[in-house]
Structure 1
Amino acid sequence: MPSLFKYAAVALAAAAPFASAQTYTDCNPLQKTCPADAGTTESKLNFDFTQSSGLNKWKTVAGSVSTGSNGAVFTVAKKGDAPTIETDFYIFYGEISVTMQAAPGTGIVSSIVFESDDLDEIDWEALGGNTAQIETNYFGKGDTTTYNRDTWPAVANPQSTFHTYTVNWQKDKTVWSIDGTPVRTLNYADAQGGARYPQTPMRVRIGIWAGGDPSNGQGTIDWAGGKTDYSQAPFSMYVKSVSITNANPADSYTYSDTSGSSDSIKLSGAGSLSQTSSSSSSSSSTSSTSSTSSTSSTSSTSSSTSSQSTESSTTAHTTLATTTHTSTAKTTTAGSTTASSTGATTSGSASGSGSSTTPSGSSTQSGSSSSTGSGSGTTSGSGSGSASGTAPKASATFNAAANVVANYLAPISLLGLVTAFFQL
């Protein structure tokens, strides 16, 4: 769809038979180094737009938006109106649900858009003249070379009925649902092998605009359903509530290179999901240490090293969680632990709520040496994990040499002492 911010320039899509992607970004990290994106350390946020306080953490970036008994009101009353709000924070994978009644009117577009700085995008678009369908769409890296990504699932009377539109956006797939029923699934590999899969931190943007404005390109007007007749205005969209689950709570997100890959995103600060995982990881490490200590006195060296690593894992640490659902995920981990100055990474098997994995079947974690929060991220699925950061690695938690000495060399030494005694 044409950008809500670039409403006046929407004629650029004139040659396109379908909606075009958002085209607005303050700084494109694929082209240059950009400031970090402001995140949120809250894993779950709920906004009740029937209350004025519901607009906290949202910025009005075009026009004006009021609240009332039907929720936030977005109105096109005349040519040029395009009231729009967006979150003042980004999320990095998660689930977003919007309870909305779309606006009526030929050519009027009610939009729910998730967009990143490098123009990854996931959309819902309701057209005022289409009373039986709503559009789903996505774009990767602002690529508009094709316009065949849209689908049109059925929905009854979206202009007169509130429906809840949900996107569950994960590292391996994205699922669009209407009133809890999935209507579309996009797998990572289906988006040009992942090259055009939305995978970078996004803001949530909600707005209304006249795609059928007579000054727009004919392609946009046709897609919007025809020319808008402003004499029939006002046209109003209502949004009653928004629920957002952030899979990777953080103070900020930084692109470490110009690849636009999710693995290049570094997290600074950790939220509640990270703390849950850290607690489980520390408990597992402590249990392992206790067991090793009881083997022999020599293994106490290993225990000491492990204890230091356990303490380190509760300091600044950030990881990438690949799966989340409506409820906060709780993850338990088992396996060996490796500490670095950016945090601890747990490898082995992991279990928790959700079942998504990365396309290759392995979970990838990323960290940042600038992290100041505590805890570690959550991982679901099975596979090996790896952590990337900018600081040098610390010593390993599991001291293999100490365990060899404790379990094998100690009995041999005892036998030697007994033999020497009888020789005397």
Structure 2
Amino acid sequence: MRLLLLLSALVGFAATQFGDCNPLKISGCPPDKGLTNSPYSVDFTKGTTDWASWTSIGTDSVLYTSQGAVLTINKKGEAPTIATNWYIFFGRVEVVMRAAPGTGIVSSVVLASDDGDEIDWEFLGGNNDEVQTNYFGKGNLTLYNRGGKTPVHDVQGTTHTYTIDWQMDQLTWSVDGNVVRTLKKEDALGGLNYPQTPMKLRIGSWAGGDPDNAPGTIAWAGGLTDYTKAPFTMYVEKVSVTNQNPAASYSYGDASGSWESIVLKKDDAAAAVGR
């Protein structure tokens, strides 16, 4: 299921990207701010957050308590979400969290780029013992065989660590340190659909089972959401990020969408990956 496509109706951002400018379709897009202080970590259980690194999206409030970042859906139309203000270019992301309960409620951890590359963790509130994984390249929706399912006990009541290890040639998803899925670059349409451009991290929950959604969306989410059973709460305790290619900013050197085209600016000078 295309997570960003479904979320776009709720929080008003473009279906295939985090920003408003897809550099494969529009020339002159501004550079993406990079994460320079890598590795980076934040402990939301301390009751405050790093506002220089994070933004709360939309009008839905996010609380920060001893339980972490508390993202709660109280009524129809809410989709509490936090996102980084910076991008990474390959690397590792760990999120320590508990998913939200509730039929039709979707908790998500998403890496996504300006040109439609995407890597997902998705949790359906009606299934307390499973997590789904997915990926997309350049917003390509012609195939729907990218998703995977992994049994994980009590994702709503027990804290687990969910990791994405995103490298140039291989992508792995891990739960509590155990690899549950591996994707090799060549297996993603010969590399064309392999996620390979700078990405932001977004964490949030939304009602895939909202009655206003398309029937297919509701079915995938597990059924209609009953808002009389709210609140539906997701808890995010800690986030750790390693940026494999730290830089002040990233820009697209051409419209190929390949990692080789990304230009890193590390102060006042541009550099290629690995320099």
Same fold (TM over 0.5): yes
**Residue 28, structure 1, aligned to residue 40, structure 2:** no
Aligned to 1:85: 82
Per-residue CA distance 1:386-419 (angstroms, 9 max, x = gap): xxxxxxxxxxxxxxxxxxxxxxxxxxxxxxxxxx
Distance apart, 1:23 and its partner CA: 5.5
Gaps of 5+ in 1: 11-20, 271-314, 322-375, 377-424
Contact 2:16-2:115 at 8 Å conserved across structures? no
Aligned to 2:3: 2
Aligned to 2:32: 37
Number of aligned residues: 268
Q: Match of 2:135, SS?
A: strand
Distance apart, 1:2 and its partner CA: 3.2
**Residue 177, structure 1, aligned to residue 174, structure 2:** yes
Contact 2:114-2:199 at 8 Å conserved across structures? yes
1:347-358 alignment, distance < 5 Å? none
Aligned to 1:385: none
Per-residue CA distance 1:224-280 (angstroms, 9 max, x = gap): 00100000000000000000000000000010111100000000006xxxxxxxxxx
Aligned to 2:57: 61
Contact 1:95-1:166 at 8 Å conserved across structures? yes
Q: Aligned equivalents of 1:115 and 1:138: distance in 2?
A: 9
One-letter code aligned to 1:254: S
Distance apart, 1:317 and its partner CA: 6.6
**Highest CA radius of gyration, 1 or 2?**
1
Q: Aligned equivalents of 1:102 and 1:9: distance in 2?
A: 20
Distance verdict in 2 for CA 1:187–1:89, change over 3 Å:
same
Q: Match of 2:25, SS?
A: coil
**Residue 216, structure 1, aligned to residue 213, structure 2:** yes
Distance apart, 1:120 and its partner CA: 0.2
Q: Match of 2:217, SS?
A: helix
Aligned to 1:254: 251
Distance apart, 1:132 and its partner CA: 1.5
**Residue 245, structure 1, aligned to residue 204, structure 2:** no
1:161-310 alignment, distance < 5 Å? 161-269=158-266
Q: Aligned equivalents of 1:318 and 1:259: distance in 2?
A: 18
Distance verdict in 2 for CA 1:64–1:55, change over 3 Å:
farther
Q: Aligned equivalents of 1:75 and 1:7: distance in 2?
A: 19
One-letter code aligned to 1:61: I
Distance apart, 1:55 and its partner CA: 3.6
Counterpart selection for 1:131 from 104, 128, 132: 128
Aligned to 1:318: 271
Q: Aligned equivalents of 2:115 and 2:96: distance in 1?
A: 27
Gaps of 5+ in 2: none
Q: Match of 1:73, SS?
A: strand
TM-score scaled by structure 1? Answer: 0.61
Contact 1:138-1:198 at 8 Å conserved across structures? yes
One-letter code aligned to 2:266: G
Contact 1:91-1:249 at 8 Å conserved across structures? yes
Q: Match of 2:141, SS?
A: coil
One-letter code aligned to 2:90: Y
Which portions of structure 1, spanning 4 or more consecutive aligned residues, are displaced by more than 4 angstroms?
21-24
Contact 2:16-2:114 at 8 Å conserved across structures? no
- Higher strand proportion, which one? 2
Distance apart, 1:54 and its partner CA: 2.8
Aligned to 1:72: 69
One-letter code aligned to 2:56: T
Q: Aligned equivalents of 2:18 and 2:248: distance in 1?
A: 23
Q: Aligned equivalents of 1:260 and 1:249: distance in 2?
A: 19
Q: Aligned equivalents of 2:223 and 2:97: distance in 1?
A: 23
Q: Match of 1:174, SS?
A: strand
Counterpart selection for 1:118 from 100, 115, 119: 115
Contact 2:197-2:257 at 8 Å conserved across structures? yes
Greater shift after overlay, 99-108 or 39-48?
39-48
Contact 1:6-1:24 at 8 Å conserved across structures? no
Instruction: State the superposition RMSD in angstroms.
Output: 1.8
Q: Aligned equivalents of 1:59 and 1:32: distance in 2?
A: 25
One-letter code aligned to 2:235: Y
Q: Match of 2:49, SS?
A: helix
Q: Aligned equivalents of 1:23 and 1:249: distance in 2?
A: 21
Q: Aligned equivalents of 2:154 and 2:135: distance in 1?
A: 23
